[in-house]
Amino acid sequence: MEQPVKVLVVDDSRTIRALIRRSFEQYPQIVICGEAANPIEARDLIIKDQPDVITLDVEMPGMNGLQFLEKIMRLRPIPVVMVSALTARGAETAITALQMGAFDCFPKPVSVMGTDAFAGLARLVIQAAHSCPGARAGASQAVSASVVPHGPERNWARAFELVAIGSSTGGVEALEQVLSGFPRQSPPIVICQHMPALFTASFSNRLNQKITALSIAEGKDGEVLNHGDVRIAPGGERHMVVERRDGHYMTRLLSAPPVNGHCPSVDMLFDSVAEAVGREALGVILTGMGQDGAEGLLAMRRAGAQTIAQDKASSVVYGMPRVAAEIGAAEHIVPLSQIAMAAMAMRAH
């Protein structure tokens, strides 16, 4: 029988801790080994109870969640799920936490009334317990190295008309590493990264400041895509797709139900690229939970596009790329550190 996942809940609000505890009660595979109101209490409980996963509030008295996260990652790496307010400030903090090594961020609901306020947190915690911490540490180190300026810009061996990328858990570091390897005159790049609203705006801004060779922003409805543009699907209630009009590719934001439980959905993006761009596209699927994007990547491959999936060893969560590989959607299985190079080295079939 599989061992239960031991979770330490850290939040200065007694109400929030109670709601999280209640949301975990229906999952027999989760055991709350301790609760702490601040990082000082949490430190002692980590030593005493040896938790498998920590849920960590961002804003706490004495030492905030980011300061405590930095100490955890440096002294005793444990999968950490950050619980962050759905505000602009909370989104900035969440992206920082992910870059520092947090497994994922769960948006704290505006209203905590109701028993389902933290529905979905248990699934993240269970997945975090089975994640690959070595992959995340390796990605962080590689990202740091990749943003250091290097020799003359490499060129794309093939002039793809568009590159489509899908990612989820672990995607913050993975996307930064991949994009850092691309030169200024890259094909237009469209990305669907599973994130709540507000988070994608913060993430896009950070990438744009860090990766100066590319123009990175959230996607807008009806925007024409040019070389060097990177557009990330906004989190929220609309899907981002690609259309071809008057010889140009453009992004469209469509209101539609979630696909594979996600809005925006990688499958929706990839399906649109398969139809609009066909064999002149490149599809890449990166680390993430679930299977969103696998069928869309298969559609791209059947349309003649070339496709890449991240390998298991470098994935924080080998879910989306695993399914893509299993159904034959991925033409190439590539470690994260080599994806940018492999993409640029590809030639026509």
> Which residue in the list 292, 314, 315, 337 is annotated as catalytic?
292
Residue 258: how many other CB atoms lie within 10 Å = 13
265 is catalytic: no
> Which residue in the list 23, 84, 131, 168 is annotated as catalytic?
168
3-class state of residue 253 by DSSP: strand
Distance CA 20, CA 117 (A): 8
292 is catalytic: yes
Residue 154: how many other CB atoms lie within 10 Å = 14
Closest CA to 54 of 140, 157, 129: 129
150 is catalytic: no
State the SS3 of 161-192.
Answer: CEEEEEECCCHHHHHHHHHHCCCCCCCCEEEE
Strand order in the sheet with 238-245: 223-224, 248-255, 238-245
Peptide bond into 258 cis (omega under 30): no
Closest CA to 161 of 264, 17, 273: 273
**The tokens of 25 are what?**
């009660």
Contact 195, 156 (CB under 8 A): no
Closest CA to 173 of 149, 199, 138: 138
3-class state of residue 73 by DSSP: helix
> Which residue in the list 23, 180, 194, 271 is annotated as catalytic?
194
Residue numbers annotated as active site: 168, 194, 292
